Structure 1
Amino acid sequence: LTHLWCDSLHVPLGFSPAMVSNMISSNLTSPHTTAMERNQGSKSACPPAVAHAAPPRCIPVLQQEPQKVVQQEERIPSYADPSMKEKEEKVCNAFSDVLLPVQDVDEGDADVPQLCSEYVKDIYMYLRQLEVRQPIRPNYMQGYEINERMRALLVNWLIQVHYRFLQVQPVSQHQLQLVGVTAMLIASKYEEMYAPEVADFVYISDNAFSKAEIWKMEVLMLKDLNFDLGRPLPLHFLRRASKAGSADVEKHTLAKYLMELTLMDYDMLHYQPSETAAAALCLSQLIIDGQQWSVMQEHYAGYSEDHLKPIMQHMTKNVVKVNEGLTKHVAVRNKYASSKLMRVSVLPQLWSPSLRNLAAPLLIGS
């Protein structure tokens, strides 16, 4: 109580306990004492301390509360804002183009309007944004009636004669082929100048579905995908990486083979298309002639070789599985065994022990 009242009366340092007690008693005599009376009482009861007075046994320490300085909080730009992130990326890319000793691979394309050299950097920046906006989550089929093996069977069948829809719309087992047929129809309309007729898809499914069923599924898929069909493909990024690395036709085609094998691999679907493309070309170069991932390729692809190593390991696993008969889904391998595609799936380098050793940790239990 003494400390509390001393604090409220702002007692100067050097007052003895007797002085403090007198001050407290004078304040407690009447709760209605006026401020002037209290001041007068304080003066009469508490004379100033003299220099030779004995030091007090207890000196209450008075601490003045620090003044709160109100500062205007500086607004930190949030990277949750897409526009801010895009601005930062453009600034970083602009500095990279100036500071890094990287050749402009588009400088010789100014006279070829089809190559859009003036806009190509912005186009690929936009494609990188699209792949982030439209991701495929790992294990997206967990809890659904269809499973990894059924999906691989469907993709294998489609190669002989896609997947975002399957992560937002549960599909029963008997509808899985209908989804594949309808996806092929939608892709044909989106990519081709002259899309096949619905009757053609009824035919390739051996009349398992009617036209009406395919049309109904088409409407359902487009609505669930919000008519957003523009997710970039690994092939779009592969062309860019091949150009940056001056890859020949054989390396480019082998990279395409490695990419298409990933369609069968459920564990690889969550990788972004640009990652898949970069890893495929990096592995293709190492397989054919040991060419390393160059600084220019890292710049234009956006990934270092260390970042791509886990993806390349999955790709070697897929190669070993089709080569050693560890999977029944060999449509991709058969496709790339043709002379039209340079028979890249039967290259002797794909049987090398180093490739087998790289894939070994992922082949346990296969």
Structure 2
Amino acid sequence: MKRVRLPLLLLMLLLPLTSSCGFRDIDKRFFVIAMGIDQPSNGAKGFNVTLRLAVPSPKIEPGSGKNQVVSIQATSIAEAVRLLKAHVDKELDFGHCKVFMLGEGLARNNHTDMLRWLSRRRDVQSVAYMAIGHPDAKSILNIAPPDERYPGNTLFLMFGKDGTQSSYLVPVYVFDFIRRTEERGIDPVLPIIRAEGKSYVITRLALLDKTKLVETITPAQTETYSQIRNQDSKSTVAAVKDGDTMVINVDRISSHYKIVKANGEHVLRLHLRVSGIFEEAPLGIYEANWDKLEELFNEQIASEIEKLFKKVQHAGVDPFGFGLRYRATHAGSPQTWKDWERIYPNLKFDIHVRVKIDGTGLVK
């Protein structure tokens, strides 16, 4: 009898502990799959917070993904999340939220308040993606692509590159965005999402300083950034000859640079090597002088890279991490950073590009 009483007593003692641990069954949770933060439209202080919630469905087929979008305005992000709990009948769970989106207006003003909430919230994944919504995050989250199999699948495939592989799309993780915001010598970047019908388009990159958005770059410059920073081989390089555009599909790419001092000036020397086959070219390219074609590519690509470097330099930001490289190769003292702040606005660029044509494709 005593052997039976002891387990029963232990079970009775454990019941109060399990009932107060805050556990919720899966059918009593709303999984947040994307979150958007905008400036209030009426000029008031605070934030307009939008959550995209997944509605469970037994079907997994194109168009079967169901979502519920809720939005509210509050003086802080934490207060907005608490208020949104009063608009739904289930507990909000951020454990599956893979996209955090800033409205363009908020990004141009100040994005530091969002980072304070993201870095402290314990159920936010550090490997979630960050982006900027144009013109605002709410309008982007309200889009429901007709071919979406389950909630949020379209954005997840685009950023995760499990589906499309685009050189115009540069995924940015939460942990990397926070690191770039706090680290001296490298500044944050974010992809810009805009609506096109009932789908998304991501071709441009936003350049930010430590607090706000300061510049955006074109799709071509975004591809160049991806090639230099990430050595993206799923890309192309182009050149124009006699009015005809020639495009090479990149098979292999490598880039490296160093900062040297020459003739009393600091110079950044970049070496970019590219090889691939023609994807688009006029007929007769097979008989042309490939050495001259390669030289044409070298000159035009180097010119475009220099324009991009000068653009970010003029904007006063460093998305490539040149300053971080300078700090890493010089004495670790406060004076090193002061020297770089003086050097960067006047830094010269020496670009060397070497393109190797491997073939002309299926036809001559």
User: TM-score w.r.t. structure 1 length?
Assistant: 0.21
Higher-Rg member (1/2): 1
User: TM-score w.r.t. structure 2 length?
Assistant: 0.21
